[in-house]
Homo-oligomer: A and B are copies of this chain.
C-alpha cells in the first residue's frame, strides 16, 4: 500500500501589487512544504498579485510583472523535486499567446497554474466570474468557458486533481467538467471575503459540491485585510460525502497539511473549531486594522476618545491590533461634555495603557462663532454649531496625524453611517473607518464580549449609559433616532434584504420609523460617498457593494 499523499494549503497573507514580495512568500512556503515531504502545495486565488487588484489589472505592466514573477517561482521549484505548486495569478496570455487588447473586452484571465520542476505545466482559467456585491470580475476577466478553454486535471502521484477557482465551485458546471475530464479530487483556490455567517455558507456549498461530484474537495483560502475586505482563512477539506475533514484557524497564516489516502481517497487532518460570531467579528476588525496600517506603512493610530461606546470599542480593537504603544487617544471636550465622559475616557485609557491627552475645543469654537456672528446673529442654533465642534476635533486629529504620521481612525458605526448621524469632515475625518459596518446593537455585543474575555477593559458605564453625541445640552441619540434595536432591524431589512417600506411596515414596524430611517439612508448618500474606507463584516456594507446614486428621487 502506498503512503498517503500530502497536500498543503498555503493560507497566506499577501499584499496587493507586491508581486516580488508575494512570489517570495510563495517560494518560502514551497521550501517549507518540500522539507515536510509535501506532494502538492496550493496557494489561494490570485495569490501572486493579491485580491482584489482592481484596476491594476488594466495596466499592461502589471500583467507583465505577474507573468515574470510566475516564471521566477517556477524556476525556483527546479530545486524542489517532487513538489507541485498551484499558483493563482492573472495573465493576459492564453495558451502562451498574449491576447490582443481591446477597448471593450476584459484585459485578462483569472488563472491557476500548476508549477513543477522549473516549469509551468498547465494553466486553468476561471469559468464563473462573480460580478455582484463587492465583485467586479467581469470588468477584468473573461471566462475560460466563454473562451472555449478546457478544464485542467493534473496528476499528483497517480491522483487526478481537477482545478477550480473560487466561484467555479459555487456552480455545477466547472466541477462536473473537471470530473468528466477524469478528476478524482477537486482543488479549489479562493479569495472569499469574510462576512458574518460566511464560514457556514461556504462549507455548506462546498459540501454540496463534494456530494454532487462524489469527489473529495480541498479549499485553499487567503487570509488578511485589503482595504474594505477581510479574508478569514479557515481553509478546509471535505470528504467525498461532504463531511468536514480538515479546517484551519481563522484570521492567521497557516500551512495546512491534508493527507489523502490514495486507495480510499479519504482525507485526514486537524479540524479547528469555528469561533463564535463575536469572536469572528472581533478578529476580522483586528485583522483589518492591523493589515491596513501595516501594509500601508503607518507607524501607529490616533483617535478621538469621547467617553462613548463607539470610540471605546475602536480603541480596544486598535490596541488588540497594534499594541498600546502604537495607539494614542485624544479627548477633546466641548462645552457640552459631561463629567462622566471625562472620567470614563481617562479610566479606559489608563486600563489599556495608551497615551491619552485632553485638548479643549472651546477656544477654536469661540473663534469660529465670532467669525460667523454677523451672519448667524438672529438665527437659532442648529446642526451647524454641532458640526463646527465635530470639525474642530477632526482638524485637531488630522493635525496630529499630519505632524507625526499616525493614521486617524474614525469611530462611527454602521447605524450612524446609514442615517447620517455623524459629521462629514468632523468625526468622519480619518483614514480608516474601523466599525463602519458594525451596527450599534452589535457594537454593544462586541463590547460586552471583549470585556468577558479577560480583564474588563471597557468601563461598564460606557456600555450602560444612553448614547449621546454631546454636541448640545442634554442631547441623546434616541431624541433623533428610533431606539437602536428598531433602527438596526429596519436597516438590515432595507439594506441587506432590499425590502421596501411597505414590506418593512408589514413586518410590524411603525410606518413613521420606517419612513424616517429609509429617508435618512437616502439623503445621506453624499456623506457616505466621502467616508473613509472601512472594514466590511456583513453581507452588504457601505463600500464596493453599495452603489447608489446620490441624485435619485426614488422612495420605496
Q: Footprint of B on A, CB under 8 Å?
A: 15-19, 21, 50, 52-56, 58-62, 65, 103-104, 106, 130-132, 136, 138-139, 170, 225-227, 291-292, 295-296, 359-360, 363-364, 366-368, 370-372, 375-376, 379, 382-384, 387-388, 391-392, 394-396, 398-400, 402-403, 424-425, 429, 431, 498, 500-503, 526, 529-533, 546-556
Contact = CB atoms under 8 A, between A and B. Distances in A.
Contacts of A556: 59, 61-62, 65
A399 B368 contact: yes
A525 to B, nearest CB: 10
Contacts of A295: 551, 553
Nearest to A394: B425
- The oligomer's copy count stands at 2
A182 to B, nearest CB: 28
B363 A59 contact: no
A223 B226 CA distance: 38
A371 B387 contact: no
Given A62-B554, A424-B429, 10 more contacts: A18-B554, A58-B498, A136-B547, A368-B395, A368-B399, A391-B394, A391-B425, A394-B425, A395-B395, A530-B530
Nearest to A381: B403
Nearest to A52: B549
Contact of A399 (B50, B372, B550, B552): B372
A15 B553 contact: yes
A553 B21 contact: yes
Contacts of A424: 398, 429
A379 B402 CA distance: 12
A59 B498 contact: yes
Given A363-B371, A372-B399, A425-B394, A533 B550 contact: yes
Nearest to A294: B551
Contact of A16 (B131, B368, B531, B553): B553
Contact of A18 (B16, B387, B502, B553): B553
30 contacts: A15-B551, A17-B549, A50-B552, A53-B549, A53-B554, A54-B548, A54-B549, A59-B500, A60-B498, A61-B502, A62-B554, A104-B130, A136-B139, A226-B549, A227-B549, A368-B395, A371-B396, A383-B402, A387-B398, A387-B399, A388-B395, A391-B391, A391-B395, A391-B398, A394-B425, A395-B425, A398-B425, A526-B532, A530-B532, A533-B550
